[in-house]
Amino acid sequence: MERITIEDVAARAGVSPTTVSHVFSGHRPVRSETKALVERVAIELGYRPNAVARSLRVQRTNTAMIILPDITNPFYPVFARGVQDVLRAGEYHTLLCNTDSREEEERAFLDEAISRRLDGVVFMGYWVSPEELLDVATAGVAVVNLGEGVPGAPIDSVRSTDEEGARDATAFLLGRYGSAVALIDGTMFAPVARARTSGYQRALRSAGLVPVPEYEVSEEFTREGGSRGMAALLDLADPPRAVFCANDQIAIGALQEAARRGLSVPADIAIVGFDDIDAATMVRPNLTTVRNSPDALGAHCGELLLSRMTGEFTGPGRDVVIPAELVIRESA
């Protein structure tokens, strides 16, 4: 594994390193014969430009990082592809990082983004505070947060109408199945979980009801979390007639737990999810859920990030909100 540098190519082609550099960058005209010669020599020698050296020199990496809580939740891969598509069009490379919802990992990746001098990061996390994100931005990394805005910081945000979506779903359940509507939420460390809880409670209050603690269980945003949550609810002396789940993974787990107990959905217990992942239409009964658009969210994150990374935009944080709407299917 020889290491061929621009100097080797220059020497062999009988030109200066400067010229070789310009042949590759196109930053200034080079006589066409010289250019052809350099290109031939480069191939002959197996020259591969060193992006590390280049990044050090130009102080840019042309790379962005996407930090996500759970790559195995089908919502996120679609989201990631959305941002990746727009970033690629802007000649940026994208690194996808998975925190598994762990606090240390969230910090580690953010740190990584800073020390690698990445140009930007799209972040979704449960633990890191807005101030910490501000540190990242201050270090010169463009940042867009998938979630709440960061007041007073040059950080863009993109989110769905989580609270409203949760409220609508709950109101729908209340209207159709009466007042015994419970909630299975994800970890309450997640801002998105708090938003959905708040929407749920708001719907209850609007209907003149008082949220009862036993009807609000908090689990992981996974199928297993959903099963556990449903089990807890069903074991109550007075189990609910319907349950709103903070995401589809949870809802599917809940569905399975109901089936395991021989309960029919929605006849015995109604279930609504959130996200509308592919699997929502694969399970039986099909999931009534709140449509969240991972691709649209991703595309917006990409646009906002791109405009900051290129320097085209340098103002205060912009906030994009995408409507999430109830999709009624079979499970409620």
Partner DNA sequence: GTGAAAGCGCTAACAC
Partner DNA sequence: GTGTTAGCGCTTTCAC
Nearer to its own copies, 117 or 318 (CB): 117
Residue selected from 58, 210, 237, 267 as contacting DNA according to rule CB under 7 A: 58
Element (H, E) at 299: helix 294-309
The residue among 24 and 127 lying less far from DNA, judged by its C-beta, is 24
Q: List the one residue from 80, 155, 217, 271 that touches its own copies (CB under 8 A).
A: 80
Residue whose CB is less far from its own copies, 209 or 327 = 327
Peptide bond into 285 cis (omega under 30): yes
Task: Tell the smallest beta-carbon distance from residue 101 to its own copies (Å).
Answer: 12
Q: Does 36 engage in binding with DNA (CB under 7 A)?
A: no
Beta carbon of residue 227, minimum distance to DNA (angstroms, whole number): 47
Q: Would you give the end-to-end CA distance of the chain in angstroms?
A: 62
Tell whether residue 252 is a contact of its own copies (CB under 8 A): yes
Residue (5 or 310) nearer to DNA, CB: 5
Which residues are 120's β-sheet partners? 64, 142
The answer to whether residue 224 forms part of the interface with its own copies (CB under 8 A) is no
* By CB under 7 A, residue 30 contacts DNA: yes
Report the C-alpha gap between 241 and 237 in whole angstroms: 13
Contact between 154 and its own copies by CB under 8 A: the answer reads: no
Select the binding partner of residue 112 from its own copies, DNA, none (C-beta < 5 to 8 A, by kind).
its own copies
List beta partners, residue 321: 159
Q: Does 261 bind DNA (CB under 7 A)?
A: no
Cβ atoms of 185 and 220 within 8 Å: the answer is no
Q: CB-wise, 57 or 104, nearer to DNA?
A: 57
Q: How many residues bind DNA (CB under 7 A)?
A: 29
Burial of 210 (0-12, 13-18, 19+ CB in 10 A): exposed
153 binds its own copies (CB under 8 A): no
Q: Which is nearer to its own copies, 74 or 211 (CB)?
A: 74
Q: Which two tokens stand for residue 17?
A: 């390193």
d(CA 325, CA 292): 7
> Which CB atom, from 22 or from 196, has the smaller least distance to DNA?
22
Please choose, from the candidates 327, 331, 318, the residue with its C-alpha nearest in 3D space to the C-alpha of residue 159.
318
Q: What Rg value do the Cα atoms of the chain yield, rounded? A: 25
Residue 203 and residue 197: Cα distance in Å, rounded? 10
Q: Which of DNA, its own copies, none lies near 40, with the C-beta cut-off 5 to 8 A by kind?
A: none
* Residue from the set 1, 26, 46, 59 that interacts with DNA by CB under 7 A: 59
Q: Angle formed by the axes of helices 32-45 and 17-25, to 10°?
A: 100
Q: Count the residues of the shown chain that bind its own copies, applying the rule CB under 8 A.
A: 43
Q: Give 170's contacts (C-beta < 8 A, 6+ positions apart).
A: 181, 183, 199, 200, 203, 204, 244
Dist. CA 268–CA 242, nearest whole Å: 9
Which CB, 7 or 214, lies closer to DNA?
A: 7
Q: How many angstroms separate the CA atoms of 70 and 47, rounded?
A: 39
Upper half-sphere CA count for residue 85 (Cβ side, 13 Å): 13
Residues that bind its own copies (CB under 8 A): 1, 3, 46, 48-53, 55-56, 61, 71-72, 74, 77-78, 80-81, 84, 93-98, 100, 112, 114-117, 138-140, 223, 252, 256, 278-279, 282-284
Residues that bind DNA (CB under 7 A): 3, 5-7, 14-19, 21-22, 24-25, 27-31, 34, 47, 49-50, 53-54, 56-59
